[in-house]
Amino acid sequence: MNSILKLRDFCTALPPGPVADVRTLEPLLAAVWHTLPSDDPSMERYKLLGRMEAVAWDAPVLNFRIERHGTIALGSSRASIDAWTVDIDQMTTSVEKGVGRRFARSSRGSK
């Protein structure tokens, strides 16, 4: 079964609302991330792993937030939060950058 079908099968079986099994979802989404059109080419698939937050399913849309570490690499102690939307039917993404900021989580480090 190809990666897109695996992601769609997983998501369509989800109940609406917060996603409880994010650790299973992350590698499924990461496997297809490079095929999705994006407004943010710096958002590479490995950055999804272990970093997706507030993941919610509202068929056919998957929403999540992710802490971005670009400013930390430039010396800031605060990370920005981006909000992503992935339409599983259309296989498209959209991002709202900088929906929040917080002190970076020291346990995650930057890549």
- Over residues 48-80, the pLDDT tens digits come to 999 999 999 999 999 999 998 654 444 556 788
Is residue 109 domain-resident? no
Would the pTM of this model clear 0.85, i.e. be above it?
no
Is residue 11 domain-resident? yes
pLDDT at 34 over 50: yes
When pLDDT is cut at 50, 70 and 90, the band that residue 6 belongs to is very high
How many domains are there within the chain?
A: 1
Distance CA 18, CA 23 (A): 13
- Are 46 and 38 in contact by the 8 Å Cβ rule? The answer is no
Distance CA 28, CA 86 (A): 13
Is residue 110 domain-resident? no
Is residue 111 domain-resident? no
Distance CA 70, CA 12 (A): 33
Report, as an integer, the average pLDDT of 74-103.
84
Is residue 27 domain-resident? yes
Is residue 38 domain-resident? yes
Is residue 64 domain-resident? yes
Question: Collapsing DSSP states into helix, strand and coil, what is residue 69?
Answer: coil
Is residue 46 domain-resident? yes
Q: Structural domain of residue 61, as residue ranges? A: 3-103
